[in-house]
């Protein structure tokens, strides 16, 4: 067999969908998963159950793989350096990935690159948060643990120094940022291969509810061409400067300047397939998952262009209604164009358990179809 073995660390839905994208290419896929029940572990044949924080486990797993890539950002950077020193192809490599692992490192590097960011600095304690507020426009201030956050966990909006105790409890550095009064959130998604080829997807609008991504609209409605091009150039520049291999999501804030013109600020970076790119599974010629695999294997990248004028992705969150399969009957009968992607996860309130994609010519219609299906699957819409 000459087909390569891709080793994926982490058994979540991103691994599951990356595996799915590799099947038509005959790519062999190995998984390092926390448990046999994880989303990807349910569907991948070659699974190692083990702890990604343990170097020996990582070494044994990587020994059978041509390249290692990730479903999450939490593998200790020093372990990745050790694997590289062993001669393992780690993609993205630790020198790039650290910018998605550590928000303080990311902010320092983005400033060097000249990427526009919210005012920010590392703060040492609540009194220092007070000083940070006074250096700018006062409270509220956004505090983020530099490592370990996801889905808004690890992000606090505080209105006083007294409210700023909790973020320091984790014992990791805390980053303070001005609270950006954004018009909306955008994401610029690019994929870069080791020899430097890169592709850029249309810039999307990403709508969060309670700190969790709810809806993504591709392309971002009403985004001026100039700003879209600037966001894509910025993402490509970051990918090159940081040395990203694979998919890079640049989460952005769109802000209104004093003269009424739109500007962008970088919120954060993710170096793996990303929720803001799930629309590409049905809405782009090549999905983010297929392009991530091509990139980590240093294959030529696929066409990132959209297949329809509009694609909308809506996340399906766990609700009170555990039997989502029953809801298929109604959703599929109502909308034959609906694309459902479920992750095999137990339904727990607020947990991402799947997403739906819809696409077409009329944005209002495409959006309504996605909203309806996600709500019906969750059980918040019953007609």
Ligand X SMILES: Nc1ncnc2c1ncn2[C@@H]1O[C@H](COP(=O)(O)OP(=O)(O)OP(=O)(O)O)[C@@H](O)[C@H]1O
Binding residues for ATP: 103, 144, 177-180, 185, 267-268
Residues 335-374 contacting Mg ion, CB under 5 A: none
Residue written as token pair 């001026």: 224
Q: Which is nearer to ligand X, 213 or 290 (CB)?
A: 213
How many Å apart are CA 377 and CA 101, to the nearest integer? 33
- From the CB of 197, what's the least distance to ligand X, in Å? 26
Q: Which is nearer to ligand X, 27 or 203 (CB)?
A: 203
Q: Which is nearer to ligand X, 135 or 365 (CB)?
A: 135
Q: Which is nearer to ligand X, 327 or 374 (CB)?
A: 374
- From the CB of 31, what's the least distance to Mg ion, in Å? 25
- Phi-psi group of 304: left, alpha or beta (phi > 0 → left; psi -120 to 50 → alpha; rest → beta): alpha
Q: Which is nearer to ligand X, 178 or 335 (CB)?
A: 178
Contact of residue 297 among Mg ion, ligand X, none (CB under 5-8 Å per partner type):
none
Annotated binding site: 103, 144, 177-180, 185, 267-268
Which of the ranges 133-141, 249-257, 282-290, 357-365 carries the binding residues for Mg ion, by CB under 5 A? 249-257
From the number of C-beta atoms within 10 Å of its C-beta (0-12, 13-18, 19+), residue 51 rates as exposed
Q: Give the other-Cβ count within 10 Å of 28's Cβ.
A: 16
- From the CB of 98, what's the least distance to ligand X, in Å? 15
Residue nearest to Mg ion (CB): 251
Residues 251-270 contacting Mg ion, CB under 5 A: 251
- From the CB of 267, what's the least distance to Mg ion, in Å? 6
**Binding residues for Mg ion, how many (CB under 5 A)?**
1
How many Å apart are CA 32 and CA 70, to the nearest integer? 10
Contact of residue 217 among Mg ion, ligand X, none (CB under 5-8 Å per partner type):
none
Cα-only R_g, the chain: 21
Tokens of 220: 């971002």
Exposure b/e, 75-93, CB count within 10 A at least 16 = b: bbbebbebbeeeebbbbbb
CB contact set of 202 (below 8 Å; sequence gap of 6+): 218, 219, 220, 228, 304, 305, 306
- From the CB of 55, what's the least distance to ligand X, in Å? 25
Q: In 29-184, where does DSSP find H-type helix? A: 55-62, 77-85, 94-101, 103-113, 126-135
- From the CB of 175, what's the least distance to ligand X, in Å? 9
Residue written as token pair 């999307």: 204
Contact of residue 335 among ligand X, Mg ion, none (CB under 5-8 Å per partner type):
none
Contact of residue 179 among ligand X, Mg ion, none (CB under 5-8 Å per partner type):
ligand X
With residue 365 as reference, give the H or E element that holds it. Answer: helix 363-378
DSSP E strands: which ranges in the chain? 5-9, 28-33, 46-49, 67-70, 120-123, 141-145, 155-158, 174-178, 184-192, 198-200, 204-209, 212-218, 246-256, 262-270, 310-317, 339-342, 352-360
Contact of residue 155 among Mg ion, ligand X, none (CB under 5-8 Å per partner type):
ligand X
Contact of residue 208 among ligand X, Mg ion, none (CB under 5-8 Å per partner type):
ligand X
Q: Which is nearer to Mg ion, 102 or 251 (CB)?
A: 251
Do the beta carbons of residue 187 and residue 252 sit within 8 Å?
A: yes
From the number of C-beta atoms within 10 Å of its C-beta (0-12, 13-18, 19+), residue 283 rates as buried
Q: Which is nearer to ligand X, 91 or 272 (CB)?
A: 272
Contact of residue 177 among Mg ion, ligand X, none (CB under 5-8 Å per partner type):
ligand X
- From the CB of 331, what's the least distance to Mg ion, in Å? 28
Q: Which is nearer to ligand X, 205 or 251 (CB)?
A: 251
- From the CB of 12, what's the least distance to ligand X, in Å? 12
Q: Give the other-Cβ count within 10 Å of 222's Cβ.
A: 8
Contact of residue 154 among Mg ion, ligand X, none (CB under 5-8 Å per partner type):
ligand X
- Contacts to ligand X by CB under 6 A: 118, 142, 144, 149-155, 177, 179-180, 185, 208, 211, 251, 267-268
Do the beta carbons of residue 220 and residue 204 sit within 8 Å?
A: yes
Residues contributing to the site for Mg ion (CB under 5 A): 251
């Amino acid at each position: 067999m000459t087909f390569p073995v891709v080793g994926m660390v982490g058994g979540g839905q991103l691994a599951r969908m990356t595996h799915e994208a590799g099947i038509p290419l005959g790519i062999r896929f190995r998984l390092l998963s926390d448990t046999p029940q994880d989303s990807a572990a349910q569907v991948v044949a070659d699974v190692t159950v083990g702890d990604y924080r343990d170097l020996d486990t990582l070494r044994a797993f990587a020994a059978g793989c041509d390249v290692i890539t990730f479903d999450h950002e939490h593998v200790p950077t020093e372990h990745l350096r050790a694997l590289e020193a062993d001669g393992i192809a780690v993609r993205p490599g630790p020198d790039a990935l650290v910018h998605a692992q550590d928000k303080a490192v990311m902010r320092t590097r983005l400033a060097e690159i000249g990427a526009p960011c919210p005012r920010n600095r590392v703060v040492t304690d609540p009194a220092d948060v007070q000083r940070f507020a006074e250096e700018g426009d006062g409270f509220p201030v956004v505090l983020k643990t530099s490592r370990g956050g996801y889905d808004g966990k690890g992000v606090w909006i505080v209105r006083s120094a007294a409210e700023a105790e909790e973020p320091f409890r984790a014992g990791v550095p805390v980053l303070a940022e001005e609270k950006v009064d954004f018009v909306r959130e955008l994401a610029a998604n690019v994929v870069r291969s080791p020899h430097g080829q890169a592709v850029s997807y249309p810039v999307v609008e990403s709508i969060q509810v309670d700190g969790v991504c709810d809806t993504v609209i591709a392309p971002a409605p009403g985004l001026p061409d100039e700003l879209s091009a600037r966001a894509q150039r910025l993402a490509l520049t970051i990918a090159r400067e940081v040395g990203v291999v694979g998919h890079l999501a640049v989460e952005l804030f769109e802000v209104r300047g004093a003269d009424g013109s739109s500007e962008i600020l970088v919120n954060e970076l993710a170096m793996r397939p990303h929720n803001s790119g799930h629309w590409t599974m049905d809405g782009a010629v090549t999905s983010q998952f297929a392009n991530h695999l091509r990139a980590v294997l240093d294959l030529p990248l696929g066409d990132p262009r959209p297949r329809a004028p509009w694609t909308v992705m809506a996340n399906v969150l766990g609700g009170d209604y555990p039997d989502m399969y029953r809801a298929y009957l109604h959703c599929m009968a109502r909308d034959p164009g609906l694309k459902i992607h479920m992750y095999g996860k137990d339904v727990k309130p607020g947990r991402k358990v799947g997403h739906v994609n819809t696409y077409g010519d009329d944005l209002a219609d495409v959006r309504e179809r996605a909203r309806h299906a996600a709500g019906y699957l969750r059980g918040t819409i019953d007609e």
